[in-house]
Structure 1
Amino acid sequence: MTDRERRLDSVLPGRFRKVADDRYGGLPPTMVVPRTVEEAQAIVREARASGETVAWFGTGSRRGLGRPATAAIGLSLMALKGVVDYRPHDLVVTVRAGTTVAELAAVLAPEGQRLAVDVPNPERTTIGGAVAADAFGWRRHRHGGVRDHLLGLRMISASGDLLRFGGTVMKNVAGYDMPKLAVGALGTIGGAVEFSFRLRPLPRARASVVAFFPPARWPEIEAALAAALRAPIEPEALWLLSPAAAGDAAGRWGLVVPFAGEPAAIAAEEERLRRLLPRGAGVEVSTVGEAEERARFDRLSAALAGSPPWPAFYRPMEGSEAVARAEGEPGAQAGDAEAQAPDSAPDRAPIVLRFGLRSTDVPEALRQAEALGRAEGFSPQVFGCFGSGVAWAVLGGASADAAPSEIEAARRVIAALREAFPYPRGIVRIEHGPATLRQAVDPWGIDERTASLFRRLHRALDPEGRFLAARLA
């Protein structure tokens, strides 16, 4: 054992693992899986005493996000699962960080409630990871992102103290709004171990209006979408999909407009939307039910599952041998020195870009992203929401040992998009990508003024640099 491993073993015997890094970078050489908040605090205090850095993890599915940086110690909160407090009548739940979004949904559904943050791939996204990465899903246009539902949290500070911010009611106090600051911070201001959220009722029904249209009809589609935002209808989103994302063999673009609520209200809103859409000349409009709607968004989620594979010791806690060992069941060995390589690593590391845009810029951004990707030899899938200004471009993948030409091609696509939609008019960030790309290109796409603000904030909250602020700025 190394000196670090001996120290960790003295704090939590048999609870650390050596880790093999992969193409995404950022995996610490040593990972600890605490079972309790107190154990996580103990590791942070040990790291502080020894002057070592700490990075927070859930399933590790966001390792391809942010600047490449590696801490000495990783803390995976996957074992901190479960609902702490649930008050259905108050529409409030408090949940631990390692609980997946799907696991929380299963608890809330019997009461007819939900956390209205339908992130892609909920089975592998933890609540802590969704907050840390500012994740959101297909209905953000109507329901907002995770920050819009977060009421409060408990967080382990760089000194190892457990702090509480916010609560279970919607009010703010003077000082830093730490729950909001934690969203998208990748754990660099502290390790959030518990969250309180506002809930919403499950809708009685769902349906979507789906349209396919040839590129020549773009002006009419844009006019219809602008009219839809002004019309007396409340869609959950207005998604535009490239032909590859829409799965249309005829090369037509797609429009998906989901509705939720009472069946009669959905039917009336669908009819209003249909009257706004162009007809004829290659335009096909239909209504699909909840099952087909879910299948379509599941396919888009699969395209975004460019997340790195999970190292074996923090898979979902469903009886895998590696998790059982991390949980201290038979087979756990103190200081197990066997490196845990990522499970079923793909041959190619997906490159996914995420956009934040003015709503009216979304159609042009999608067209440019698709054209630029194809010109550089990628097979892009692009899709974005006209109402919320959020978009994604899945360019494809760079190989495990990405050739400089592949990285350069991706760099040119990103540079062209950032030139077309410069910050702060728009933001183009690398949502997932190999470390070689994120070393060659600023992954965030923000200006120096904004980056310096982040650095000042981190110095105020973590003056010793314990939590790897370099991932952000």
Structure 2
Amino acid sequence: MSRPVQALLTRLEEIVGGARVLTDPEALATRQVDHLRPSAIIQPADAAQTAEVLRFAAGEKLALVPCGGGTKLGIGAPPERYDLALDLSRMNHVLAYDPRDLTLGVEPGMRIENLLRTLSEQKQFLPLAVPFSDRATIGGIVAANSSSPLRHSYGGVRDYCLGMEFVTGEGVISKGGGRVVKNVTGYDLHKLLIGSLGTLAVITRVNFRTFPLPPAQGTFVASFSDAEPAFSFCHAVGESVLAPQIIEVADPGTAHLLFSAETPARIEPQQWSVIITAAGQSSVVDRHARELGRMASAADAIELVPLTDKETSSILARIREFPRLILEAAPAAAIFRIGVLPTAMPFLLGQLSKLAAQNHLDLATLTRASGIVFAAFLPKEENTAPSADLAKAANEVFHACGKPEISASAMLEWCPAEVKRAVGNVWGPPRKDFALMQRVKNVFDPQNVLSPGRFAGGI
């Protein structure tokens, strides 16, 4: 901080109120980013206070990291500087909701769990089944572009985010997109913020399209001896007239993590599992049951098991919480999120398995048939230098993803801070459009006060 700390804190207290500037060590520890702690936590009440805080920070060249539930603070590179945590948890209200038009406006600090509960009262929902759902907030979900298993049928955040209000690094309140499904306001500027990890602007409102809750749902688990028939089955389902809500492929390690003793699917140690959920009218679910049974048999599945409603709820929650389950079981794990064409998935998984074995690591993967692979590298119990092995494997994953036959986009989404330092760049090699990304950053945040260094290429 350029001026005496107390003088800066006094000014911030004038903006947001004395009780909303926190400096006690326990509070600061909750906003730690890769062993770095802020000098204070600032809790604005609305967009106007947020803008004033940012104008002050830009003038004093203070670095801020926006946060809410704190579930995304471990994502991204360590910040170059970190003076203030901009805690948006007070901004947690539904600002507008019209169930008839299927539109919603919500503040960034709203927890997804609470929002889904509110929407369910109108028999509606958002397809945001994201990890750490008890603490994850809308702002963090959008800023991290969190992946949901419902992406297969509803798309990603970009597909149902209608517009945003946000504050730039200079403290200017701006808007992008609109509040209605049919938007003719021009370029979707707000979509630049989706996945930018708080490096361009601070989101103060998000407008969504909502969806009706389906009247019926059914989940089916097909088991296979290895990856090839499992992905052949997925391909057959994708080419059919069926329209599943969810298609996930779990390798044997992940299958053991997902399934408990209460589940009728008898998952053996070397079995791959394809989890498919169908939703809609009961006749739609029934048709999926018939057709999936036929296709599973044609793909040489060991079995296809339907799950009860209770079992479905349990399994889908575990799929949603896959990163959390991995990190609870192995805090030293490194979890990649890889975007890849479905046709390249089997080859990619084969390469990942080889890299894990070469670096004395275990591997657990969960694959979204729509094009996302979560790959968790876990140190073996006897490994005495896991950070070095994880870092070596990580760099080899980035190299493999750059091969023409894979051509995937990878980021090291979760890993210990020491692994990040050893890897150097958790976002992988610089992209061809990096110069354009840097220009966008300079327009939105010319003083580089928002999460400096956390994004790709040190942005």
TM-score band, normalised by the shorter chain?
Answer: 0.7 to 0.9
Cα distance, 1:53 vs structure 2? 2.0
Alignment length, in residue pairs? 430
Q: 2:417 aligns with which of 410, 428, 435?
A: 435
* TM-score, reference length from structure 1: 0.84
Residue 154 of structure 1 contacts residue 163 of structure 1 at CA under 8 Å; is this kept in 2?
A: yes
Q: What is the distance in 2 between the residues matched to 1:298 and 1:371?
A: 30
Task: Provide the residue aligned with 1:14 in structure 2.
Answer: 19
- Give the SS at the match of 2:100: helix
Provide the secondary structure at the position in 1 that maps to 2:277: strand
Q: 1:121 to 1:237 in 2, by over 3 A?
A: same
1:286 is matched with which residue?
Answer: 305
Aligned partner of 2:422: which letter? Answer: A
Q: Distance in 2 between matches of 1:223 and 1:346?
A: 31
C-alpha distance in 2, partners of 1:115/1:352? 25
The superposition leaves residues 408-438 of structure 1 with CA deviations (integer Å, 9 ceiling, x where unpaired) of: 2112222333333217820121111222222
- The residue aligned with 2:408 is 426
Listed one character per residue, the Cα deviations across residues 119-175 of structure 1 (whole Å, up to 9, x for unaligned) are: 233222100000000012112111111111100111112222222221112325445
Alignment of 1:352-363 (within 5 A): 352-363=335-346
Aligned counterpart in structure 1 of residue 433 of structure 2, from 450, 453, 470: 450
Deviations 1:367-420, CA, capped at 9 Å, x for gaps: 43344335434333211022x110101223799xx98x3222112222333333
Describe the shift of the 1:162–1:274 C-alpha distance in structure 2 as closer, same or farther (beyond 3 A): same
1:202 aligns with 2:221: no
Instruction: Specify whether residues 280 and 428 from structure 1 end up closer, same or farther in structure 2 by C-alpha distance, changes over 3 A only.
Output: closer
Mapping of residues 118-197 of structure 1, within 5 Å: 118-169=129-180, 170-175=182-187, 177-197=188-208
Alignment of 1:22-421 (within 5 A): 24-69=34-79, 70-169=81-180, 170-175=182-187, 177-215=188-226, 218-247=227-256, 248-278=267-297, 283-305=302-324, 348-386=331-369, 388-396=370-378, 405-421=385-401
Per-residue CA shift, 1:272-292, capped at 9, x if unaligned? 122112469771211113321
**Structure 2, unaligned runs of 5 or more:** 257-266
| Matched residue type, 2:153 | R
- The 3 A distance-change label for structure 1 pair 26 and 142 is farther
The superposition leaves residues 102-132 of structure 1 with CA deviations (integer Å, 9 ceiling, x where unpaired) of: 1111111011111122223322210000000
Moved more, 166-175 or 460-469: 166-175
**Matches of 1:49 and 1:461 in 2, distance apart?**
15
In structure 2, C-alpha distance between the alignment counterparts of 1:306 and 1:159, rounded to whole Å: 39
Mapped to 1, the partners of 2:167 and 2:299 lie a distance apart of 59
| 1:314 aligned partner | none
Structure 1 residue 220: deviation in Å? 3.0
CA-based RMSD? 2.7
Measure the CA separation in 1 of the matches of 2:160 and 2:379. Answer: 33
Question: Do the aligned partners of 1:224 and 1:278 also contact (CA within 8 Å) in 2?
Answer: no
Q: Secondary structure at the match of 1:6?
A: helix
Name the SS for the 1:147 alignment partner. Answer: helix
Contact 1:53 1:71 in 2 (8 A): yes
**Which portions of structure 1, spanning 4 or more consecutive aligned residues, are displaced by more than 6 angstroms?**
279-282
Q: Which moved further from structure 2: 99-108 or 446-455?
A: 446-455
How far, CA to CA, are the matches of 1:270 and 1:377 in structure 2?
41
- Greater relative contact order (Cα 8 A, min sep 6): structure 1 or 2? 1
